[in-house]
Amino acid sequence: MGSLFFLRNKSYLSFICLNFKKTPNFHILIKTICYISNICQNLTSDDIHKLKARIVIKNNQHGITGILLIKNGHVFQIIEGSTDYIDKLYLKIYQDHRHNGIIKLLDKTIKDHIFSLYGAGKFSVVSNYSDLKKLYLYFNWIKEANYLPANEIIHLTKNFLKYNT
């Protein structure tokens, strides 16, 4: 369980990935929400690092998978988990003063966590182009399954990266 984060601060890029455990097969509805927003300009690099650390811990505690990208002042996040918890988490995210202009791009029930196999089960920091390429390789791998929600998420993520370079 966990999340992937992408941050770009003045002189560096970083991804943080926590690997995920597969959801047990006992009728838990899994939901994914994807949104974009604008990060508040008064956040410092230190604020973002502290936020990132808290998000990693909380996502691990609650079995949330997905990715968070912050690039050029824009936020892109995909969260996956139990329907009840994801709805509550999204409400908290929506009310968070550290970003604004939130637009929900995707809100649907899925069969299983799309990001459950990303990162081989270990916490990793991705801080260069090579590591970003690993995300694309993962996307290419899951695209082979032709699972429509995964394809939608890949498309949304690639568009965010394309228009925020």
Number of domains in the chain: 1
8 Å CB contact between 42 and 78: no
Q: Fill in the amino acid letter for 132.
A: L
Which residues are CB-neighbours of 18 under 8 A, at least 6 positions away? Answer: 1, 2, 3, 4, 56, 59, 60, 119, 123
**Mean pLDDT, to the nearest integer, of 88-102?**
95
8 Å CB contact between 4 and 68: yes
Q: Is residue 64's pLDDT more than 60?
A: yes
8 Å CB contact between 83 and 31: yes
Q: What percent of the chain has pLDDT over 70?
A: 75
For residue 120, what is the domain's CATH number? 3.30.70.100
Residues in the chain: 165
Domain range enclosing 36: 4-163
Of 134, 10, 117, 143, residue with least CA distance to 73: 10
Strand partners, 60: none
pLDDT (tens digit per residue) in 99-128: 999 999 999 998 887 777 764 332 233 335
pLDDT value of residue 17:
44
Of 112, 119, 101, 99, residue with least CA distance to 153: 112
20 phi and psi angles, rounded to 5 deg: -120, 150
